């Protein structure tokens, strides 16, 4: 599946809890926390962890299509660098798309909450070996 705003939004929406979500599958995901240097913290977004994990291969593929996954020598990257795909094109125009991808990525272990170094907002992206640019 191609990494683009529509596909991320569709997948994110699919992973939101619904009437059938069991409480044990609810997971609260927060991107901006006081412990990571933010004065204004965000409210947690609740996702259905079972639904997210069922989509892990697609989420891995999305992260595999990011430029920084393949070309960054460090695993702490500027949040703005996540807009760029491995082929040099830009997959998102809206910050909300980046945040939705990060929420999903936190649940499956592809990234961590944002870190605020007071100059730039940064997101930690573990560069997992074996993530491919495109789904096979």
The span from the CA of 96 to the CA of 113, in Å, is 15
**Which is it for the CA torsion 49, 53, 55, 58, positive or negative?**
positive
Looking at the whole model, is its pTM more than 0.75? yes
Task: Answer yes or no: is pLDDT of 122 > 90.
Answer: no
Element (H, E) at 98: helix 95-108
Per DSSP, 86 falls in state T
Beta-sheet pairing, 121-124 with 114-116: antiparallel
Task: Answer yes or no: is pLDDT of 133 > 70.
Answer: no
Using an 8 Å Cβ cutoff, are 116 and 36 in contact?
yes
Task: Answer yes or no: is pLDDT of 127 > 50.
Answer: yes
Q: Please list the residues that pair with 121 across neighbouring strands.
A: 116
pLDDT digits (tens, 9 = 90+) for 2-13: 999 999 999 999
What is the arithmetic mean of pLDDT over 110-129?
74
């Amino acid at each position: 599946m191609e990494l683009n705003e529509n596909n991320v939004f569709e997948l994110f929406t699919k992973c939101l809890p619904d009437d059938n979500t069991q409480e044990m599958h609810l997971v609260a995901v927060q991107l901006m926390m006081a412990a990571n240097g933010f004065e204004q913290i965000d409210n947690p977004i609740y996702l259905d962890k079972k639904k997210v994990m069922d989509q892990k291969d697609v989420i891995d593929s999305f992260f595999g299509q990011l430029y920084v996954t393949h070309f960054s020598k460090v695993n702490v990257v500027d949040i703005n660098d996540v807009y760029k795909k491995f082929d040099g094109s830009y997959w998102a125009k809206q910050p909300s798309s980046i945040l939705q991808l990060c929420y999903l990525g936190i649940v499956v272990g592809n990234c961590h909450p944002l870190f605020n170094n007071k100059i730039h907002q940064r997101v930690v992206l573990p560069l997992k070996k074996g993530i491919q640019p495109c789904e096979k």
